[in-house]
A and B are shown apart, each in its own frame.
Chain A
């Protein structure tokens, strides 16, 4: 009977502080799928970081800030990867990173959360809501979620590429972040 009482005291005594997490890069992934001439092509950004503060009991204090390194893109084809980095697409020479900064977490039941935030790609910042499943097991947390974006919202694919004929507008992001408590 001692432990629950001690826990209760701890919980009530502590301010509503979020818990800090450190992302494990090797286990985390950021994949995307788009259509090229009608066929699905999958790629990923190999380098990204996320500063995460999260405690299900203190959602108001939760926050995440993620930075994605555009030159780490890998679609299994170096010629295409170079194109993706080019001026018509991500223009990584001018905008080397994309960024997501959360503005609020909402519990959606169970392990589900809607993570609202601002996503910046190139020079366009748009509000997005990322539905995530976040499970915490001791010192280890796993967050997964998918988000469908329209690449043209962010000016990704300019000039002739703005048409959806060769490369579709919809891009499906699949995110898996594995983190350990700091």
Chain B
């Protein structure tokens, strides 16, 4: 196993970030969609606290991943992709990364605006980025919500794209992310 990426495969670091974040993101979607339905209760507070802790974790991981990409690059798109296909693939990737910054950041801001500070698994409280403000809270919640829905859409395209590469184009795009590079 190699830690770094190469022009034709992902290293262990990128592979672990990709799949670790995939698990966290689906957990966050599930929590986010169910916790808002809970009545005001300790269970609701616990669900929100876990959602915030996981979201902050994703924010740190996505920044680490962007830095890692910049440091050692990523495998190229396979040859033979059409121009439109390449543009869509790149746009979806950029969209996912952008949303993975916007969503936790808007959530963090929303916590401050709603005067409910976030902390990381009870270990430490992160500072509120803005003070209590009901109008800002409404706007940030809408941003968080819409960006979350957009991410779902992008991830659906991402998965469909990976399956298309594997079953229709029969290239290595899906396989190289399923298994990290060995040499």
**Residue A77 is within 8 A (CB to CB) of chain B in the complex:** yes
What A residues does B131 contact at CB under 8 A? 76
Q: Are A38 and B125 in touch, CB under 8 angstroms?
A: yes
Tell which of A20-28, A157-165, A169-177 binds the partner.
A157-165
User: Is there an interface contact between A160 and B116, defined as CB atoms closer than 8 Å?
Assistant: no
Is the pair B115, A76 in contact by a Cβ cutoff of 8 Å? Answer: yes
Closest to B117 in A: A39
The answer to whether B40 and A83 have CB atoms under 8 Å apart is: yes
B103 at interface by CB-CB < 8 Å: no
Residues 110-166 of B contacting A (Cβ, < 8 Å): 114-119, 122, 125, 131-134, 137
Question: Is residue A11 contacting chain B, with contact meaning CB distance below 8 A?
Answer: no
Q: What residue of chain A has the Cβ atom nearest to residue B122's Cβ?
A: A38
Of the candidates B42, B122, B132, the one whose C-beta lies within 8 Å of that of A77 is B132
* A79 close to chain B: CB less than 8 A: yes
Please tell me if the beta carbons of B116 and A167 are within 8 angstroms of each other in the complex.
no
Tier of interface size on chain B:
20 to 34
Within 8 A of A (CB), among B34-66: 40-43, 45-46, 48-49
- Interface residue count for A (Cβ, 8 Å)? 20
Residues of B within 8 A of A163 (CB): 42
| Bound-complex Cα distance A160 to B38 (A) | 14
Q: Are A78 and B42 in contact (CB under 8 A)?
A: no
Q: Is the CB of A79 within 8 A of B40?
A: yes
Contact A160 B42, beta carbon cutoff 8 Å: yes
Mark interface residues in A138-182 (1 if CB within 8 Å of B CB, else 0). Answer: 000000000000000000000011010111000000000000000
A106 to B48, CA, bound (A): 46
A residues near B48, Cβ cutoff 8 Å:
37
A residues in contact with B122, CB < 8 Å: 37-38
* From A38, A79, A86, A165, contact of B42 by CB (8 A): A165
The answer to whether A165 touches B46 (Cβ under 8 A) is yes
Q: Which of A36, A40, A76, A86 contacts B45 (CB 8 A)?
A: A36
Q: Ordered nearest first, which 8 A-B pairs have the shortest CB separation?
A: A76-B132, A76-B115, A166-B42, A166-B45, A39-B117, A37-B49, A39-B125, A38-B122
Would you list 22 pairs from A and B whose C-beta atoms are within 8 A, ordered by A residue?
A36-B45, A36-B116, A37-B45, A37-B46, A37-B122, A39-B116, A39-B117, A39-B125, A76-B114, A76-B131, A76-B133, A77-B115, A77-B134, A79-B40, A80-B116, A83-B40, A160-B41, A161-B42, A166-B45, A166-B46, A167-B42, A167-B45
Q: A83-B40, A166-B45 are in contact. List 7 more A-B contacts (CB 8 A).
A: A39-B119, A41-B116, A76-B115, A77-B132, A165-B42, A166-B41, A167-B42
Residues of A bordering B, CB below 8 Å: 36-41, 75-80, 83, 86, 160-161, 163, 165-167
